[in-house]
Homo-oligomer: A and B are copies of this chain.
Amino acid sequence: MNAPARNDKETVVAAAMRVLAENGLPGLSMRRIADELDIQVSALYWHFPNKQALLAAVSAQIVGSDPQPEGMDAAARALRDRLLAHQDGAEIVSSSLALGLLDLPVRAELVRAAKKTGVDAASAEVAADTLVHYVIGYTFHEQQRLHAAIVGTAEASVDLVPAGAQDRGDDFEAGLAMIIAGVQASASIR
């Protein structure tokens, strides 16, 4: 029903995004993507050498290539929003990053903003990676909870959320502020 005009790379990635939206990462198989395009699985390998390469292209789509908002806080928030906008976004992007197949546009802004606090280049890299690990770890947790809520297995009574935090977003902000305070403190030590 979604037969493409052309089976180019973008068409394949767009089909993969639709399969992801409907089935999540566990259902994102080469078979389903091929079915979505009404082509043979083998045809997908003409565009992508393997599934990891296709997932990396999906990840690049998730994180986007737009100019990033300025500042460590705004950039970190933008990354979380991007991940949350797609089913299993944190897991897919994390996997592509770990495989070294994804360039995270937000990372350059995180490094730049960290440097502005006065830390040296090496510490700015550490700050950027620490923020990325935090955002991915946090969002991975959020999306697993979301999935659990859908399948009805989450127990509302036990939670990693501190008592009194009504909104996961507030909790995210508090942790983010703490890490940024750490970057600034590292700068003032030098």
A residues engaging B (CB < 8 A)? 50, 52, 94-95, 97-101, 103-104, 122-123, 125-127, 129-130, 132-138, 140-142, 144-145, 148, 153-165, 171, 174-175, 177-186, 189
Is there an interface contact between B122 and A133, defined as CB atoms closer than 8 Å?
Answer: no
For the complex, give the distance between the alpha carbons of A186 and B181 in Å. Answer: 7
Is there an interface contact between B94 and A130, defined as CB atoms closer than 8 Å?
Answer: no
Identify whether the interface residues of A are mostly helix, strand, loop, or mixed.
helix
Is there an interface contact between B158 and A98, defined as CB atoms closer than 8 Å?
Answer: no
**Residues on the B chain within 8 Å of A177, using CB:** 186
Least CB distance, A39 to chain B, in whole angstroms: 24
**Residues on the B chain within 8 Å of A144, using CB:** 94-95, 98-99
